[in-house]
């Protein structure tokens, strides 16, 4: 947590409400807050649950070194963690259902080769505005296509940083949490995969969370999500190539499909093609683009992105425009990561609204139609 005034009660309450034998679970709250008032509020909330018999630990640091990775690394060093076999990670705005552990832990218990069980995200504020609807479409595609296919074909897929259960032995064998990039989740997943560990994605298990509802918050989040993977590719490409534990096919999949195509080329091509080449073809008659490149491929990509969110198919035009606008920002972030430029390790915590969302929704009065048949004015 980092100054999570709006959501700390929701997430702590959900974690403490997990159904599991009380003597076999420890709730650990990692708080890097800089606001003393908020730290006191979070600590009091932990004490409140402790008074109810919940085994909950409140942990703070005197610095933010390593950001999330640093906090997770310090959390695993605690003596009481040594008795644990698995660690479940939830970001500050995530609210798991009580049966989360019963639906994930058995997979790890019965399959010793399994390192991670990843759940899907469920967005509590997807209908808040047009921008959250656009985000829902992109993330639903990510989970429905990228994560589902990666898990089903036993290929590599990344850890989403939250709503997942890790085997602690796998984390330790992979070298633990590293703060060399802003995508500590992807870093750990790649290293664990190179050690031969397997992952499982459960699309039927959803965990409620919040989407950024302001453009500023979304822009900072996307910078981190695009800059981090590019920077990680720069630092890990040779390590992947030299690895002898995994097959050549898996190396090609991770380097080409996961990193190059999805994390680098996709952003650059989207910006160059849609924002430069296509407009140039309209303005300059000499520039000719084949029909398959100008119509068919973009149409297929667009339709695929609508598969995960059928209810938003009528918003495809807005989604295309939105993604084209974001492509410039994502391309810039990608090159910052590849070149390891100034803002490469910038970490701005995504703004969250928490209970304010419910208040905002309650204040929205239903719109009255201007005219109804049989109604007199």
Determine whether 80 is exposed, middle or buried from the number of CB atoms within 10 Å of its CB (0-12, 13-18, 19+): exposed
Distances (CA, A) of 356 to 52, 70, 121, 212: 27, 29, 20, 13
The residues with which 121 forms a beta bridge, in sequence order, are: 207
Place of tokens 């990193």: 259
User: How many Cα atoms sit within 13 Å of 346 on the Cβ side?
Assistant: 19
Active-site option among 31, 32, 179, 187: 32
Of 327, 93, 341, give the one whose Cα is nearest residue 226: 327
Burial of 126 (0-12, 13-18, 19+ CB in 10 A): buried
Q: Token pair for residue 77? A: 């060093």
Active site residue 99: no
Question: Residue 32 catalytic?
Answer: yes
Q: For residues 183 and 227, give the distance between their C-alpha atoms in angstroms, rounded to a whole number.
A: 9
Non-local (6+) Cβ contacts of 281 within 8 A are 287, 288, 289, 294
> ∠ CA(74), CA(234), CA(240), 5° rounding?
80
Do residues 182 and 69 make contact, with C-beta atoms less than 8 angstroms apart? no
Helix axes 36-50, 8-16, angle to 10 degrees: 20
93, 140, 179, 185: the catalytic one is: 185
Catalytic positions, please?
32, 185
């Amino acid at each position: 947590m980092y100054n999570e005034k709006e959501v700390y009660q929701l997430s702590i309450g959900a974690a403490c409400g997990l159904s599991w034998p009380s003597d076999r679970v420890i709730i650990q709250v990692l708080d890097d807050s800089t606001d003393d008032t908020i730290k006191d509020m979070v600590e009091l909330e932990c004490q409140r649950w402790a008074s109810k018999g919940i085994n909950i630990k409140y942990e703070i640091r005197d610095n933010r070194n390593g950001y999330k990775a640093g906090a997770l690394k310090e959390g695993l060093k605690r003596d009481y963690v040594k008795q644990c076999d698995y660690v479940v990670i939830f970001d500050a705005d995530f609210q798991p259902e009580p049966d989360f552990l019963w639906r994930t832990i058995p997979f790890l218990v019965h399959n010793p080769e399994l390192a991670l069980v990843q759940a899907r995200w469920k967005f509590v504020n997807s209908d808040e505005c047009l921008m959250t609807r656009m985000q829902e479409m992109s993330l639903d595609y990510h989970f429905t296509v990228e994560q589902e296919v990666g898990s089903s074909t036993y290929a590599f897929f990344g850890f989403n940083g939250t709503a997942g259960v890790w085997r602690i032995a796998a984390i330790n064998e992979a070298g633990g949490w590293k703060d060399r990039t802003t995508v500590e989740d992807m870093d750990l997943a790649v290293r664990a995969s190179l050690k031969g560990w397997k992952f499982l994605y459960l699309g039927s298990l959803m965990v409620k969370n919040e989407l950024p509802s302001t453009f500023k918050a979304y822009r900072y989040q996307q910078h981190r999500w695009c800059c981090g993977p590019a920077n990680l590719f720069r630092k890990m490409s040779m390590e992947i190539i030299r690895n002898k534990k995994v097959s050549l096919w898996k190396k090609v999949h991770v380097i080409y499909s996961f990193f190059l195509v999805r994390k680098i080329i996709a952003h650059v091509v989207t910006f160059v093609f849609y924002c430069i080449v296509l407009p140039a073809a309209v303005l300059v008659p000499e520039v000719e683009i084949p029909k398959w490149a100008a119509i068919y491929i973009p149409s297929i990509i667009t339709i695929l992105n609508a598969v995960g969110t059928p209810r938003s198919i009528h918003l495809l035009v807005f989604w295309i425009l939105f993604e084209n606008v974001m492509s410039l920002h994502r391309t810039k972030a990608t090159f910052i990561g590849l070149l390891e430029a100034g803002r490469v390790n910038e970490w701005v915590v995504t703004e969250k609204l928490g209970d304010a969302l419910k208040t905002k929704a309650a204040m929205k009065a239903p719109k009255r139609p201007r005219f109804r048949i049989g109604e007199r004015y």
